[in-house]
Structures are given as C-alpha cells and as structure tokens.
Structure 1
Amino acid sequence: MGILANTVSVCHFKVQGEIPQQQDLHDFVTKQLAANRFNPIDQGSEEISVGWAHLDDPRVYDFDSPAACCREHYFMFTLRRDKRSVPSAVLKAHLERAQEEFLAENPGMTKVPKQKREDLKEAVRAMLLSQTLPTPATYDVVWDTKSGILTFSSLSPKVIELFEEQFKKTFEGLRVSAFHPYARAESVLDDQYKALLQQANKAGGDNYLELIKENQWLGADFMLWLMYQTMNESSEYTVNQPGVLLAKEGFVAYLDDRVVLLGSGENGAQKITVAGPQDHFNEVRSALLNKKQITEATLHMETGDDHYKLTLKGELFHFASFKSPAVKLEKDSTVDEAMEREAVFFERMLLLEKGNQLFDSVFATFLELRLGNQWAEQAEAIQKWLNVCSFCNRPLE
C-alpha cells in the first residue's frame, strides 16, 4: 500500500549532506529525478528497470518541472522497479526441449557440449523473458525539507538497500541515514537530556550500525515501560514535541493486540508471539522474567476522535501497519482532479505528522524518566509488577 493509503508500513530517514538552498533545491531535485527517471521495459526483454516515477501516478515518470514532485516544503516521488522473472521449472522444460532439438540436428553427438548448454540456456531465458510481462513494484518517498525527515513506504531490508543506493546515485552529495532509536532520541530531547543520553550511549563511535546494535536497550526499555504504563497507570500523556498539535494537548497511548519477544535458549534464539487483546500480560511477563525482551508491540494512540495504531519494531523504530484516521474531504464538483489529489496529499501528511508527533511525545516522556534520577524507582516498580501474577497474586515462575 502506498503512503496515501490509510494503512502503510513506513521507515524514516534523515537526509545528510550539503543540501542546496530552497529554490536551488527545487531545481536540483527535479533535474536529478528527471535524469534518473523510470524507463519502461514492456516492449523489450530487459530483466529489470529501476527509477523514479510520480507519487500520484507511478505510470507517469516525466519530471519536467518542480510541480511534478514538489508541494510546498515536501518533495514526493516513487521508486518504481519493474522486473521480469522466469520460473525455474519453465526454464528447465524449455531448455531440455532446446537441447533435444540440438542433438537431433547433430546426430553425431551424444550430449550437448558445456559451452553450447550455456549458450542455449541464455538464448532460452532471453526468449522467455521477451514473452513475459514485467511485474511492477512501487515504493513511495516523501521528503519533508522543513524537518529533514524522509519517509519511505517499505520495511523490506532489500528494498531499503535499493532505495538508499538509488537516492545516493540520484542526488550527488546527499545520502539518507536511518532515523534509528538513538537518532530519534537525540531529536526529541533538550540539551540537558542529550548530555545524559550521550552518557548512556553504549556505542563506541558514531557509526550508525554500532549505534543501533549497542543501544537496543532504548527500544526494549521503552516497550517494557509502555506495557507497565498500560497496565498500571492512566496511559494519559501530553504533547511535548513541536508540530501540528498544540503543546500540552492531552492524548492516550497504550499497548494491546500483539507483543513479540525474543531471547536466547538451548536451541538458539527463541521467539514468542502473544496475540489478541491483553488483560494482564501474564504470558508476556513470564517471558520477560525468563530474560526475553520485547522486540515488537502494537501501539495505540488516541487524541480526540483520531485513533492511530502501529506495530513498533523496537530495533529500528520502523512503523509497521501504521493506521491513521481516514482522509476526509468534501466532494466538490467544481474542483478538478489535480487539486483534489493535492488536497488528499496535504490532508494525509497532516495526519501522519500528528501520529509522529504523538509517538515522539510518548518517547520523550519515557526518555526523560529513563535518563533521569527517578528511573531506579521506576525500574523497581516494574520488576515488582513482573513478579506478581494478576490472577492469583502470587509470584510468577
């Protein structure tokens, strides 16, 4: 599903490098997208084609002006990849037939020479590819130049790697850097707490892979704290990050529906999935007492009539199945299709920004507690809660 759908899986990046000034940036982005646009392969036999297309309609891939990819402070475009593939069983059957025909034409031979087999295989594969329509796949990109955050609509490691390579190739001098938990923590804290975060940083340098690997406690402790808050507190928070919603506006956030835990066992890594509405999280709590950590959890956030739901991936803070309120626009027969698409885009961005603002507010609330003097007391309360069964008021084993 694309980024304009009400439910979409997304990851976030920061754009790094020497970014041109705003007007020059419009020209730069448009020119580079045009130079690296998608080229169709429907009429040929090429195996794959990768390039940029329009977000509104990935069948369109001409970037002749900034209007094709720019709306106010947003750049929006789509990574399109068309790929042909031939099933191995089909290739094998046609290759065997080609080899039989070759031997029939050369009665003096009992088997096809090795080099000829390779030539036949390539010829058969090319023939089958030319008879196969490419399968398109599209992944949306929205770059908010005001915040510097880029949103990408896939969580597949291979697709993310393809996107990172394509972005770096397209925009010379720029690159995208994963907006991982430590980077996100730095973005939501003031200078005082940033200093405390640096003290708690377990990575030895600035390498982003090390920052992710060595600071997995951020995601694990955050979701453990959220679970405790869900079961023992009001789950009420206030907006403390800048954005669309007003400061100190109240909202609710809680875990429910699904929790995934991971830990080591005698036979290697053990994964436990607890699904369905939870009353007491006793199964989860028992697993936590056995040294497992929460790696994924379904988070709900509610403000007014708006309800957001996402599955948070704790290691990288990817948002899987991020469901936001539906875009509601009044139909007007006097508004043309282009203006309607633009209105849908801005309404959708508004809703996504609200969801991110709510998430960052909860995360900042946790960080100030986790990095402050009250965490020891909070950790003790969490441990006591983990140890007691809600049904029988006895220690969990």
Structure 2
Amino acid sequence: MGILSNTVSICQFRVAGDLPVSDLFQWASERLSRNGFQPIDQGAAELSTGWVHLDDHRESGFAVPAAFWRDHYLAFTLRRDQRRLPAALLKAYLQVAEHEHLAANPGLSRVPKQKREELKDAVRVALLARTLPVPSTWDAVWDTRSGLVTFTSLSPAIVEQFEAQFKKTFEGLRLVAVHPFARAEQVVDEGLKPALDQANQAGSEAVIDLIRSNQWLGWDFFLWLMFRTMQDTSEYRVSRPGPAQENEPFVAYINDRLVLLCAGENGLQKITVAGPQDHFSEVRTALKTGKRITEATLYLEKDEHTWRVTLKGEMFHFASLKAPAVRIEKDDSVDEVSEREAVFFERMFVLEQGMQLFDSLYAAFLALRLGAGWGEEERRIGEWLAAGEAA
C-alpha cells in the first residue's frame, strides 16, 4: 500500500548531512533524474531499481516541480522490477539443452562442467527474455523542514535497499532510523535528557547497539500502557508540535492483539494473544513468568477521528496504520494535478497528526519512566499483575 492509502505500514528516518543552502529543487531534481528507474521489459536484464513519480510509476523524469515537489515535502517512489525464474523451470530447460548437446556430440557420455555452465547461462538468458519483470513500488516522503523521511515498507531487505539508494542518490547524506531511543531523544523534555542518557544501556553510538541495548524502552512502554488501559485514565494531552493544538485531549489504549516474547531452553518463544481484552488475564500471567510485550495494537482517538496501528516495539515501526479516511470534494473547476496534490496534503496532515499523538503519548511515558514517580508506578503495576495471577 502506498502513502496515499488509508492503511499503510511505515518506518521513519532522520536525514544526516547538510542540504544545499540554495536551489534545493534543482539539486534534488538532478539527483533523482540521474537515478531514475530504467525499464527492462524490452530486454533480458534481471533487475532494475530507481526512482519514479509518486502519482505515476511509469514516469522517471524529475525536471519539473509537479514530479516530486510538494511545498516543503519531496515525494518520490522507489520502483524495483525483477524477473524471477522458477528453479524447476530452469532445470527442465537445462536438461533439454544438455540432451541436445550430447546428441550433437555422440562421443560424450556426459556434458563437461565448463560447457554445462555455458548452457546454463544461455538457457537462463533465453528464459529471462521471455519472462515479464514484476514491478514493486514503495513510497517515500521527505519533510525537508523537519528532516524526517517516511518510507512505506517494513521489510528489512527493502529498507536496506532504500537506504542504499537514498545514499547513492543524495551524495553526502544518509538515513538514520528513528528507533525507540532516537525517538525518546526527540520527544523527552529537556530537563529529563540527562536521565535518559544515564538510562542508556548501549556501549556505543552505533545504531544497532542503541536498538538492541535499549529494548527496555519498548517493553516498559507496552507494560505501562497496558496497565493504564485497564486501571487508569486513557486520556492524554498533546505535548508535541504538529497539526493538533498543544494541550488538546486525546485517548490512547491497546487492545485486540498483543505479541509476547520469552527466551527459553528451546530458543525464543512467541505468544500471540488476539481478540478484545477484558482484563488481559492471559497477558498478565505471561508477564509474571518473564515474558515481554513486543508488539501490540494501539488505538489513538481524537475528537471523532481514530488511528489504529500495530506497533512493533523493537524499532517502533508502524504496521497496518489505519488513519482517518481522506475525502476531497471534487470540483469541476479543479484540474487533476491540483486534486492529487490536495489529496497528498490532506493525507500528510492526518498521518502527521497521528504521529504527533503517538509522540505525545511516548513523551508522557518518558516523563514518568525517567522521573521520580516511576518507583510508585512500578509498585502499582506489580500489584496489578499479582492480582491478575491470583485471580
């Protein structure tokens, strides 16, 4: 699903490096055009990757603003076309080629190794030329005002490919994942930053170390939010910048589906609890035995609007994020390009508001987790878990 779909999975990055001080459009236009997608449907190439338009995946030229320029956003799509040959098909055609070679050379009882490799390459090229490439696309939106890039895939392989293509395209820049610790650095109050630094369990500034050594952030966040969902208020206040006004109320809670993980004698064990939760009894029992919540369905509600997302705790990736539907009233006096841009801006508005609510929720957790009141909160959570076990 693309960024304009009402349901989409996203991860986010910060851009590290310096942007040009002037003529950002010309700079980005040249680099995107230079790394635009090249079709392979008329040849036998196995793979092609490059940038295309967000609105038209057949177009790979970025010479005009309408191609990718949206006010302070740069919007473009990574397209990958790939031909795939089933192993069984390649094997069958290779056997035919070997039989023909042996028939043409009666003195041979078997095809020599070098010749077999030549036949295999020839068969592969011939089959690729007869196979249509399968296109795949993933959208990216770069907010040049905040330096935040939103990408519509959670696949590690695709994310890695996007990072490499971005770095290749925009020389001197690189993407840094917005993982739980990085997001904490962004949303925590200035006065709590020393406490966050002290709580950091990573031994280096390497991203992978910051992620793996600080999984406690996701674990404690889910535990706290589950407790608040069942035993306390689910109402919070907007505290982070964005479309919503500061101090406006919103509701946040988890429900429907949770995933728990535990390291046992047989390796990692995963438990999925699905369906509406009245008391989280099964989850509370699992937590008492040392399991950790690693994934949960999170609801964010403000006024009459609802955001529903499967939050993955290790990276804070947002899977199957369902935001309020975008509805643009059509007007005969408005052309198609203007209408598409209106849909884009409205979509970004609802996505950014959902992220604003999440960041405000996370900031509320961090204010308690890093502050003096966490000991009391831990005691209350412990009593609640014990009561659930006794029941």
Task: Tell me the TM-score range normalised by the shorter chain.
Answer: over 0.9
- Which residue pairs with 2:347 in the alignment? 348
Secondary structure in 2 aligned to 1:312? Answer: strand
Of residues 250-259 and 63-72 in structure 1, the stretch that sits farther from structure 2 once superposed is 63-72
- Which residue pairs with 1:62 in the alignment? 61
Maintained 8 Å contact 1:27/1:66? no
- Which residue pairs with 1:192 in the alignment? 191
Secondary structure in 2 aligned to 1:42? Answer: coil
- Which residue pairs with 1:124 in the alignment? 123
* Cα distance in structure 1, aligned partners of 2:31 and 2:366: 39
Secondary structure in 1 aligned to 2:149? Answer: strand
Following superposition, the deviation at residue 187 of structure 1 comes to 0.6
CA displacement 1:195-240 (0-9 Å, x = unmatched): 1111111112211111111111111100110000000112001101
Maintained 8 Å contact 1:82/1:134? yes
Maintained 8 Å contact 1:38/1:80? yes
- Which residue pairs with 1:6 in the alignment? 6
- Which residue pairs with 2:200 in the alignment? 201
Maintained 8 Å contact 2:295/2:312? yes
- Which residue pairs with 2:169 in the alignment? 170
Instruction: Calculate the TM-score normalised by the size of structure 2.
Output: 0.99
- Which residue pairs with 1:38 in the alignment? 37
Matches within 5 A, 1:229-240: 229-240=228-239
- Which residue pairs with 2:326 in the alignment? 327
- Which residue pairs with 2:279 in the alignment? 280
Secondary structure in 1 aligned to 2:121? Answer: helix
Maintained 8 Å contact 2:258/2:297? yes
Maintained 8 Å contact 2:189/2:367? no
* Cα distance in structure 2, aligned partners of 1:278 and 1:102: 67
Secondary structure in 2 aligned to 1:12? Answer: strand
Matched, 1:246 2:245: yes
Following superposition, the deviation at residue 56 of structure 1 comes to 1.0
* Cα distance in structure 1, aligned partners of 2:66 and 2:255: 42
CA displacement 1:87-128 (0-9 Å, x = unmatched): 001001100011111111111111101001100000000000
Following superposition, the deviation at residue 40 of structure 1 comes to 0.3
Instruction: Calculate the TM-score normalised by the size of structure 1.
Output: 0.97
- Which residue pairs with 1:258 in the alignment? 257
Following superposition, the deviation at residue 57 of structure 1 comes to 1.2
Extract structure 1 runs of 4+ deviating beyond 2 A: none
* Cα distance in structure 2, aligned partners of 1:199 and 1:135: 49
Of residues 52-61 and 370-379 in structure 1, the stretch that sits farther from structure 2 once superposed is 52-61
Matched, 1:290 2:289: yes
- Which residue pairs with 2:314 in the alignment? 315
* Cα distance in structure 2, aligned partners of 1:149 and 1:283: 38
CA displacement 1:131-190 (0-9 Å, x = unmatched): 000000001000011111100000000000000111111100000000011110011122
* Cα distance in structure 1, aligned partners of 2:135 and 2:152: 15
* Cα distance in structure 2, aligned partners of 1:313 and 1:282: 21
* Cα distance in structure 2, aligned partners of 1:201 and 1:15: 22
- Which residue pairs with 1:181 in the alignment? 180
In structure 1, which of residues 377, 383, 395 is the aligned counterpart of residue 390 of structure 2? 395
Following superposition, the deviation at residue 66 of structure 1 comes to 3.2
- Which residue pairs with 2:219 in the alignment? 220
Following superposition, the deviation at residue 318 of structure 1 comes to 0.3
* Cα distance in structure 2, aligned partners of 1:234 and 1:188: 21
- Which residue pairs with 1:113 in the alignment? 112
- Which residue pairs with 1:53 in the alignment? 52
Following superposition, the deviation at residue 268 of structure 1 comes to 1.1
- Which residue pairs with 1:100 in the alignment? 99
Following superposition, the deviation at residue 7 of structure 1 comes to 0.3
Amino acid at match of 2:390: P
Following superposition, the deviation at residue 388 of structure 1 comes to 1.2
- Which residue pairs with 1:15 in the alignment? 15
Q: How many residues align?
A: 391
* Cα distance in structure 2, aligned partners of 1:193 and 1:243: 21
Amino acid at match of 1:300: Y
* Cα distance in structure 2, aligned partners of 1:261 and 1:240: 30
Amino acid at match of 2:141: V
CA displacement 1:56-86 (0-9 Å, x = unmatched): 1111111112331111000000000000011
* Cα distance in structure 2, aligned partners of 1:120 and 1:151: 45
Secondary structure in 2 aligned to 1:388? Answer: helix
Amino acid at match of 2:13: F
Unpaired segments of 5 or more residues in structure 1?
none
* Cα distance in structure 1, aligned partners of 2:237 and 2:120: 64
Following superposition, the deviation at residue 331 of structure 1 comes to 1.4
Following superposition, the deviation at residue 265 of structure 1 comes to 1.2
Following superposition, the deviation at residue 24 of structure 1 comes to 2.3
